[in-house]
Amino acid sequence: MSILSGKHILLGVTGSIAAYKAADLASKLTQAGAQVDVILTSAAEKFVTPLTYQSVTGRKAYTDKDLWGDEAHVMHISLGKTADLLVIAPCTADTMAKLAHGIADNLLTVTALAATCPILIAPAMDGGMFDHPATQANLQTLQTRLVLVAGPAAGRLASGMSGVGRMLEPMDILGHIRIALGKNGKLAGKKVIVTAGGTQEAIDPVRIITNHSSGKQGYALAQAALDAGAEVTLITTPTTLTPPVGAKLINVKSVQDMLDALLKENADALIMAAAGADFRPVNVAKEKLKKRDGIPQIQLEAAPDILKTLSSLNGEKKRFKVTAGFAAESRDLLANASEKLKSKGLDLIAANDISANDAGFNVETNRITLLFANGMQDILPLMSKAEAAEKIVEHIARLLE
């Protein structure tokens, strides 16, 4: 997660049972390369100890004792000034009220008032407290002041009842943090569409023709575009993956569904990472094919070529300023990729050698060569799909300049 690498995150923890989950958030942020300084309120200390956070961040966790320490007069100022983002998770109704009214009576609220960095809160409280007009008014005040708000979610609350008030899960808060940090990135103000996963062509109501695409590369691209500040639409076939926070999702199955979805969209860039079917059954049986009827003869026809169809819509109908494709090849990698780059009217194609067992379908890594319409090449070594996605997104940002 290079978006978090080297970033200074100030994590405020307030008095909610969700404070134990914030330790996981602190750990995830630290593992992603951020420098995480934690401030606990005295109520948070009733649920967790500073040591919990020190153990996962490797740094001193601050408490109200530090407010009256030797460096008190400067510490709150420096913490709030050097941070890239102040995250308050969990944020109780009490702390929300203090933030809304400029009350600065503990180290966290003093720091928040002095902070010059953006602030993100993840509210956590009983459903009734969240719904209360006072809390809602405070929320509105904070949003008017551009405080970012992640959650709360609906679900089981500490009271045993259900309602809206649960703190978002750490992974979701992490997603909101990434959006906050990427806001002014290279793709800020740009719209990017990413397709992901293997398409499914129905044979009958039970059976499909599909492929080994897991969607990992496409989802990584959607996340990388979000990290760069883009507005992202992810058109995805069914996968087991969790979509990145902030992406607009469009669920599809077949190549035709994917094409139909794309024909309704406009964007600055399209990245076609999905593995689309080249063939599909001519007829889809309405009822399940039965064994007792013998082995079915399934006749195939060409499925629509999405990229070719889109590139034929030129002139005013051209929907994407930059179009990137992928080539999944088991032989003659660059020759085949280069042919696809031209025939599909692409600005760039990522050629991946699917014969290697550490690249291509359903693995965590990829080894790709990027070919550009102007003849330029960028040969990338083996890297994680997230890193490959970042490289592709960098090139797309450059092409859009």
The site for ligand PMT, by CB under 6 A, has a size of 30
Cα–Cα nearest to 157, from 204, 90, 73: 90
Query: Which residue of 92, 352, 353, 390 would you call a contact of ligand PMT, by CB under 6 A?
Result: 352
**Catalytic residue at 211?**
yes
DSSP 3-state of 333 = helix
Does 221 bind ligand PMT (CB under 6 A)? Our answer is no
Cα→Cα distances 359→110, 211, 351, 369, 384, Å: 50, 15, 11, 12, 9
Q: Closest residue to ligand PMT, Cβ-based? A: 276
Report the DSSP beta bridge partners of residue 331.
Answer: none
Check if the beta carbon of residue 386 is closer than 8 Å to that of residue 220.
yes
Does 216 bind ligand PMT (CB under 6 A)? Our answer is yes
Cα–Cα nearest to 112, from 91, 135, 129: 91
Does 360 bind ligand PMT (CB under 6 A)? Our answer is yes
Does 252 bind ligand PMT (CB under 6 A)? Our answer is no
User: Minimal distance in Å, beta carbon 192 to ligand PMT?
Assistant: 15
Does 255 bind ligand PMT (CB under 6 A)? Our answer is yes
User: Minimal distance in Å, beta carbon 27 to ligand PMT?
Assistant: 26
DSSP 3-state of 277 = coil
Query: Which residue of 303, 341, 386, 393 would you call a contact of ligand PMT, by CB under 6 A?
Result: 303
User: Minimal distance in Å, beta carbon 277 to ligand PMT?
Assistant: 6
Report the DSSP beta bridge partners of residue 250.
Answer: 235
Active-site option among 211, 336, 357, 362: 211
d(CA 7, CA 119) in angstroms, rounded, equals 14
Cα–Cα nearest to 306, from 269, 271, 352, 334: 271
User: Minimal distance in Å, beta carbon 334 to ligand PMT?
Assistant: 13
Report the DSSP beta bridge partners of residue 280.
Answer: 301
Query: Which residue of 14, 106, 200, 214 would you call a contact of ligand PMT, by CB under 6 A?
Result: 214
Residue 387, classified by CB atoms within 10 Å of its CB into exposed (0-12), middle (13-18) or buried (19+), is middle
Query: Which residue of 21, 186, 340, 395 would you call a contact of ligand PMT, by CB under 6 A?
Result: 340
Chain residues that interact with ligand PMT, rule: CB under 6 A:
213-218, 255, 272-278, 303, 305-307, 325-328, 340, 344, 352, 354, 360-362, 385
What residues are annotated to the active site? 211
